[in-house]
Amino acid sequence: MANHLTIIRNFIPAFGLVLMMAAGCSSPKPEAYLAYEDTTAAVYGPYRVIKLPIDKGVKVLNPVQISQGPGGKIFAANQSGELYTLQDSDGDGLEDEALLFADLNELGLVSPAGFAHKGDTVFVGTRSEIRAFRDIDQDGKADTSWTFFNKIPVSEHPYEWTSSLNFGPDGWLYFVLTTDSFNPGASPDPEGLRGSILKVSPDGQQYEIVATGIRSIHGMNFNPDGELFFADNKGGGNSTEELNLLQAGKFYGHNPKKYEGKYDTLTPPVFSLENEIAPSGIEFNSAENDFGGTGGNLFVAFYGPGERWNRGGIGRVKIEKTEQGYQFEEFPVADIPKLSDLTFGKDGSLYLAQHGISDYWYNPTEEKTGAFYKVIYDPDLVGKHPVKKEIKEENFSNASLENGKQLFAIRACSACHGVDGTTDLIGPNLKGAGKEFSLEEFLEEIKEPSKRIKPSMIATRITLKDGKVLLGRVVYTDTNQVSIMLVGNQVVQVPKSEIQSAEDELKSLMYENLLAGLSEEEIKNLLNYLSSL
């Protein structure tokens, strides 16, 4: 206990000085930081993870974004539609109040998944439009708003967001319309806007498709050279968690049938992210912000694999441009589950939005969750925390792997799951799954296949007007028809004119009791094989 108290006494003066110098304002109270430090989070490098005590103002409900806005204020948004700023009401250096800036529910808008600002105007991407807000009287609440852009193919499908808003060096607003490839009732999209990166002129009157073949991008950011990097999620033709560099007019691989005949080649990612699963927000740290020697690095928030896994975290990527091209090196920063976004504050600290538990489509559930964190650099911790995760090497015997491979075939796993990273069957391709899931997680997925289902793997039940029912996974949809993959991997084209109804089936297409009759040794061998992929 004495040693612990000595460490705290020695830490507080230096920590307070660093924070005061970083913020360039009145000295925060370091004891407040210590009181709210989340010591359960695994940290890599000289950082402290502080859970912000937001207990005043707007209730935090599954936040989907956090960004620095006008005046350096930290803006955030709930999935339920409230847009607010994080305020430090008692001056202790920690934000503790969420002050309402605008309520999108009052405008009939949903899913505020994108945010950007220019001057004192805030731009928010929603399912149906990009809305502009302005606080003219500077009272902290928007008093005027208008539609900036609404040429969006809109449907009621909850996965179709307008995300990753960024103003480019050319003054145009860049953003993403997520794919509609999972949606059996997708809206007509003759220009192929969905699944694309677009840009809109400063007056909102002109727009252009910049690139296509996009799956689900929630992180996009310009580097100091004006180059646009973006992170796309694995699945649907993306074999890895992708970090991409924008090349105007290129196709990036997702939903190729939608753009058939328009592109000859696929543009591959420049780097595959491996620190965690499902990248969400990304942001370049300023070269002037040292933040533990990470000036100029790209920081990445990861949501984690599936809406109910208690996984996720922050990573950073050191990017160097050489005569031969870019070189990338990835590092972990902290393990914090369900992160939806991140941003750097004007004091140089890193702010995080934690979405928390949700339903299959990342919408709020009856259990309202979510939080905000502030990651602070502490020079006293240099050399105290590892900078890499300890990777436990599994040494599976050849006999175990061969037996597991045979069981994978015998139990019909291979009929639904490819293992090469490219074959598209009715179940997800398992190439690289050993890096994503532990043996325990694999076992739970097999035993309870309906407990967690990725949105792109949710089954759809289509009832035709003649009474016939089709159950499978939607792989493509356009104005005239829906392509659905049935069990057995047969793809059937269904004219929309023949469809009476299409509904999500929240029961997995994966058979239950697949492990019935297997010995413990056989189950172990099967799990070992999956882990080795």
Mean pLDDT of 29-56: 90
Q: Could you tell me if 69 and 351 are in contact, meaning their C-beta atoms sit under 8 angstroms apart? A: no
Nearest to 135 by CA among 121, 147, 125: 121
Q: Over pLDDT 70: what percentage of the chain? A: 91
Q: What is the Cα–Cα distance from 452 to 175, expressed in whole angstroms?
A: 29
Nearest-angstrom CA–CA distance, 400 and 122: 57
The pLDDT score that the predictor gives to residue 356 is 81
Query: Which of 106-110, 122-126, 274-278, 409-413 has the lowest average pLDDT?
Result: 409-413
> 353-365 as b/e, with b when 16 or more CB fall inside 10 Å?
bbbbbbebebebe
Question: Could you identify the residue written with the tokens 């180059």?
Answer: 227
Q: How far apart are CA 111 and CA 114, in angstroms?
A: 9
Q: How far apart are the first and last CA of the chain?
A: 46
450 within 8 A of 458, measured Cβ to Cβ: no
| Helix (H) or strand (E) run with residue 37 in it | none
pLDDT at residue 498 is higher than 90: yes
In the prediction, which pLDDT does 14 show? 40
Q: Return d(Cα 8, Cα 264) in angstroms, integer.
A: 61
Q: In the predicted model, is pLDDT for residue 102 greater than 50?
A: yes
54 or 5, greater pLDDT: 54
Which phi and psi (to 5°) does residue 289 adopt?
A: -100, 100
How does strand 173-177 pair with strand 196-200?
A: antiparallel
> Which tokens hold the place of 214?
């996009």
What pTM does this model have? 0.86
Q: What is the mean pLDDT of the chain?
A: 88
* Contact indicator for 498, 399 with CB cutoff of 8 Å: no
Identify the pLDDT of residue 364: 58
Higher pLDDT, 145 or 388: 145
Measured CA distances, 100 to 57, 141, 147, 254, 486 (Å): 7, 6, 20, 37, 47
pLDDT above 90: residue 327: yes
Is 16 a residue whose pLDDT tops 50?
A: no
What are 231-280's pLDDT values in tens digits?
A: 999 887 788 899 999 999 999 999 998 888 888 789 999 999 999 989 99
Tokens of 273: 């992210």
Q: With 60 as the cut, is the pLDDT of residue 425 above it?
A: yes
Say which range, 150-164, 268-282, 341-355, 425-439, has the weakest mean pLDDT: 425-439
Indicate the pLDDT class of residue 219, thresholds 50, 70 and 90. very high
